[in-house]
Structure 1
Amino acid sequence: MTETDSIAYDVVVLGAGPVGENVADRTRAAGLSTAVVESELVGGECSYWACMPSKALLRPVIARADARRLPGLSQSVQGPLDTAAVLARRDEYTSHWKDDGQVRWLDGIGADLHRGHGRLTAPRTVEVTGSDGVRQVLTARHAVVVCTGSGAQLPDLPTLAEVEPWTSREATSAKAAPGRLVVVGGGVVATEMATAWQALGSRVTLLVRGKGLLSRMEPFAGELVAEALTEAGVDVRTGTSVEAVTREHGTVVVVTDGGDRIEADEILFATGRVPRTADIGLETIGLEPGSWLEVDDSLRVTGSEWLYAVGDVNHRALLTHQGKYQARIAGAAIAARASGVPLLESDPWGAHAATADHAAVPQVVFTDPEAAAVGLSLAEAEQAGHRVRAVDVEMSSVAGAGLYAEGYRGRARMVVDLEREILLGLTFVGAGVGELIHSASIAVAGQVPISRLWHAVPSYPTISEVWLRLLESYRDN
């Protein structure tokens, strides 16, 4: 193992996923020299094992489901999906797990890429060990930014390692549909992958420890998604925990807490995330390895003047779009501090303070039906001490929904702060509702008064007319 001389930069970024890329983009735009350290593929989890491949798998599933609900088209799409074609398109969207294009993008913004495993060894100092064993020492004049993301959390079950379970990575990159698949979990990854693989030919059993699916959303979201999964052929079992799992002669054998024995070809655990901070040298600067990193609204780690943590690692909002938002804030804050400009809360753009990662977080679950939400649920708003009212509307009351599909099913809810008459949260469940959530995010983040929303007229006949129905219901009841 050899070591080169140290190289000084203004900023060193650990992790070249979408979050790290966006930090580097902002710091380079501000004229700061920037190094990016990556041990895997430039583009990170979202590009190769999460957002892009999962949505590429799901899009044909949802398109077929929509088509089957349209007279004049439904009879033409009753057959199975072409699984090989779906997987081939997925492979295209992951660039066949090659990062040449992302590397060219980094080169284009003038950031230096250092491939290898990066570890903090002292304040403002990162040691990078390449696959060839060569070490480089990078020092940062202004900031080191941790953008290493999160990884799948696996339960502590004996023999689990020998089973070689799927995590989200294997679920989105599998080369063929398993004949039988057990999915453990009730959140976004579990419901999306159950949706995808059931449609692609697997017989799916979904084991959920809690009472229902999508527990962080309004209860009706999980109920509607569970109904649809069951209708699609998924065996949904709530209130069920895995007690043991083994692989016998190639077959996965699952034993539940109720004593049921389930056999499958593969098992996917979608049971949570852990920060990828166990081996980045946190102990050398007085922090706990493997911990989430607490930050202020400029994304600077609490108690530090030079260390930032952006994206999943700070545990504020584990979503790619929120991590990219944080990255833009962090990049602006680093640039301002490097130039000696004070960070003013009165900045009209709020460029130096992340607030939307806790006040107005949008999320879409790409199941059939889709579930989309932003802000607080009714329960969260009440727990936070707000005096609120929930307004519910069936999506079938909207003309645009009926045109979208025969027998359209879904529901919308807005949570109104009665003191200020603004919206604290909205949830939509139904086909195509993912495209509604940005308007809801604007209403929540902008604290738009309901009296003004009344004059934001939705086009007819579109699903967006659900806004009018929600406002009418609030006014008239």
Structure 2
Amino acid sequence: MSSTRPDIDVHPKGLSPDDLKIKEFDVVIIGGGPSGETAAMYSVKGGLTALLIESELVGGECPYWACVPSKAMLRPNETIETAKGVGGAKERLALLAAKYSATPEIDVEGTWSARDRFTKGWKDDANVELMRTSGVEVVRGFGSIAGEKRVSIKEWHSGSTVEVTARQAVIVASGSAPSIPVIEGLQKAGYWTPREAVSSNEVPKHLIIIGGGVVGCEMAFAYRSLGSQVTIIGGSDRLLPRIVPEASSMISLSMKNSGIKVLLSTTAKEVTREGSTVKVDLVDGTRLHGAEILIAAGRRARTTGMELDKVGAPTNGAAITVDESLRVVSVPAGWLYAIGDPNGLAPLTHMGKYQAIIASQSIIASARGISGDDSKESDYSRLSRKPSDNATPQVVFTDPQIASVGMTMEQAQAQGLKVKAHSVKMQGHGTFLHAADYDGWAQWVVAEGTGQILGAIFVGRDVADLLHASTVAVVGKLSWRTMFHAVPSFPTLGEVYHNLVESCAK
């Protein structure tokens, strides 16, 4: 079985539920990740009392095991690769390479040090203090449903249980866990999950990655830059199968140019380990030999053991169905909410926090006997997630980056919409500031007739910060004609918006 580093304590002592002086709160939140923290703080801001229950580190998956450490591992190589394309910097790198008879490479120990600073050494003191200063009560333990508006909390170390009551609502914000495929010999051989991949202080000579999605692709680039030989295995016929094919092809080409071996349309059949070597047999007959194997085959809701079946919700990792205010639909009384990964709508940190605000505002409004929102624009109520159902922004931090929001052309056509895709190359204009040979690509999906922008994608170095303007356009139902008047500054990467507008105008 996989395990985290022995020096990382994921169940620190203290904040025991046994020490609770009050056993009744307006809102009880199960899960202290970004979604749970946000829901708790907004509930308190709205005049309610809140209890936050976390079974591991307060802060959740993102700051310790996902978004934050992975980006710390990716950033050094991004910086060096960018410098290689900038006049004045690339010459200096070449001079240093000649002097030391070596190509410019990132410093592994420096990368680990930066990652450890970003994760605060896997200590959650700062997050606990933030909750406390915000007026949120925090306890460590495993929360489960005990009955209507009742939650049982099991203390990790002693095994003792305490029951608390919510006057208004219970929020499930328990996050997600890795999905581990059934592969013969895998459990006996041992493996990395994304937790081990972002916390390891070792660089495997050869890392075999099972899974061609976001995590698998990001870790492939990270460990290749750290010096590993990397092989990535994807069951689909292309990497990142949920991304448009053009972007997927650019990532595959970049991987191959970086020396990453890409195997597609195949899966692992058996895994064995002999000493320091792990052997992976694929269904197509290929045998791979590596030093470590990373399972990056997706995630499932972390709901096992939470007794959600008592209220008709799934407890096997399946998504919990919610309404527009994030209430669990199987609980007609409306006291149970599910936000973030457990509802499966948009398993991304920023979307979980967005949902947390909606859920907490809905609970506050209900507590005050208010059924509407201060805003008269009902389409943009803070009590409903409806405007963003098709407007989830996401950035994949590969090389090049992929930033997307809204619908692809295929998704729009599947809904019966008449659309056209407008694609442009990101060359010239402000790209010369990033690299003389900058290579990028962008696309808008636009409704015929109205010109409304329904989706956008950008592929290239440093395109992540280009995305928000398109997110505003998609959520705001803006047309390309409106965007013509939003003039991008010169010289910036944002000039691609001018090119997209002109493509639509043809």
> Residue by residue, what CA displacement relative to the aligned partner does 1:390-440 show, whole Å, maximum 9, x if unpaired?
0110112x3111331121112111000113211000010001100100011
Partner in structure 2 of residue 433 of structure 1:
463
Q: How does 1:245-284 map to 2 (within 5 A)?
A: 245-284=271-310
Match of 1:82 among 102, 107, 124: 107
Give me the whole-angstrom Cα distance separating, in 1, the residues matched to 2:125 and 2:387: 33
Give the one of 98, 104, 114 matched to 2:123. 98
Counterpart residue number, 1:179: 205
Of residues 108, 111, 124, the one that matches 2:136 is 111
Residue of structure 2 aligned with 1:155, choices 165, 171, 181: 181
How far apart are the structure 2 equivalents of 1:436 and 1:171?
29
Which of 469, 473, 494 is the aligned partner of 1:464? 494
CA 1:357 to 1:275, structure 2 compared with 1: closer, same or farther past 3 Å? farther
Q: Is it true that 1:381 corresponds to 2:412 in the alignment?
A: yes
What is the CA distance between 1:6 and its match in structure 2? 7.5
Aligned to 2:4: none
| 1:145-294 matched pairs, under 5 angstroms | 145-290=171-316, 291-294=318-321
Q: For this pair of structures, how many residues does the alignment match? A: 475
Question: Which one of 145, 150, 160 corresponds to residue 125 of structure 1?
Answer: 150
Q: Distance in 1 between matches of 2:360 and 2:190?
A: 39
Match for residue 169 of structure 2 among 139, 143, 155: 143
Q: Identify which of 443, 449, 452 aligns with 1:413.
A: 443
Aligned equivalent of 1:328: 357
Q: Displacement of 1:23 after TM fit?
A: 0.2
Which of 39, 42, 55 is 2:58 aligned to? 42
Equivalent residue for 1:369? 400
Q: Partners in 1 of 2:436 and 2:18 — Cα distance?
A: 67
User: What TM-score, normalized to structure 2?
Assistant: 0.91
Q: Distance in 2 between matches of 1:427 and 1:439?
A: 12
Match of 1:103, SS state, is helix
- 2:392 aligned with 1:339, yes or no? no
- Partners of 2:69 and 2:459 lie apart in 1 by 23
SS in 1 for 2:386: coil
CA offset digits 1:325-349 (Å, max 9, x no partner): 0001111001001111013596435
Distance 2:294 2:192 in 1: 4
Deviations 1:180-239 (A, max 9, x none): 100111111011000100001111001111111111111111111111111111011222
Q: Does 1:309 align with 2:325?
A: no
Equivalent of 2:483 in 453, 460, 464 = 453
Using the TM superposition, give the Cα deviation of residue 357 of structure 1 relative to its aligned residue in structure 2, in angstroms.
4.3
Task: Report the CA distance between 1:356 and its aligned residue.
Answer: 4.9
Instruction: Give the match's secondary structure for 1:299.
Output: coil
Partners of 2:20 and 2:503 lie apart in 1 by 68
Query: C-alpha deviations, 1:90-140, integer Å up to 9, x for none?
Result: 001001000000000010111111111111111111111112222211100
Aligned equivalents of 1:387, 1:37: Cα separation in 2: 47
- Note the residue ranges of structure 2 that are not aligned, 5 or more in a row: 1-16, 94-102
Question: Contact 1:329/1:353 (CA < 8 Å) preserved in 2?
Answer: yes
More divergent stretch after superposition (266-275 vs 19-28): 266-275
Asked if structure 2 preserves the Cα contact closer than 8 Å seen for 1:5 and 1:137, the reply is no
Letter in 1 for 2:369: G
Q: Which one of 85, 99, 102 corresponds to residue 69 of structure 1?
A: 85
- Give me the whole-angstrom Cα distance separating, in 1, the residues matched to 2:104 and 2:302: 42
Q: Distance in 1 between matches of 2:216 and 2:314?
A: 30
SS at match of 2:449: coil
The question of whether the paired residues in 1 share the 8 Å contact of 2:311 and 2:330 is answered with no
Partner of 2:426: 395
Residue 29 of structure 2 corresponds to: 13
The secondary structure found in structure 1 opposite 2:105 is coil
Q: 1:47 touches 1:94 (CA, 8 Å); kept in 2?
A: yes
In structure 1, how many angstroms separate the alpha carbons of the residues matched to 2:445 and 2:311? 43
Stretch moving more, 71-80 or 235-244: 71-80
Q: Measure how far apart 1:172 and its partner are.
A: 1.1
> 1-side partners of 2:92 and 2:226: how far apart?
18
Are residues 1:300 and 2:331 paired? no
Q: Identity rate of aligned residues, in percent? A: 39
Q: Secondary structure at the match of 1:259?
A: coil
CA-atom RMSD in angstroms:
1.7
Kindly provide the amino acid, as one letter, of the partner of residue 192 in structure 2: W
Matched residue of 1:92: which SS?
helix
Distance 1:357 1:455, change over 3 A: closer
Structure 1 residue 285: deviation in Å?
Answer: 2.5
Counterpart CA distance in 2 for 1:357 and 1:346 is 17
Shift of 1:375: 0.2
Q: How far apart in 2 are the matches of 1:466 and 1:475?
A: 14
1:416-473 Cα shifts (integer Å, max 9, x gaps): 0113211000010001100100011011111112221111111111111111111111
Give the TM-score normalised by the residue count of structure 1: 0.97
Distance (Å, rounded) in 2 between the aligned partners of 1:4 and 1:379 = 53
CA–CA distance in structure 1, aligned partners of residues 86 and 430 of structure 2: 13
Report if the CA contact (8 A) 1:3-1:135 is conserved. no
Decide whether the 8 Å contact of 1:3 with 1:134 is kept in 2: no
Q: Distance in 1 between matches of 2:474 and 2:503?
A: 18
Greater mean deviation of Cα atoms: 132-141 or 366-375: 132-141
**Which residue identity is paired with 1:341?**
I
d(CA) in 1 for partners of 2:502 and 2:130?
Answer: 48
2:62 maps to a residue whose letter is: C
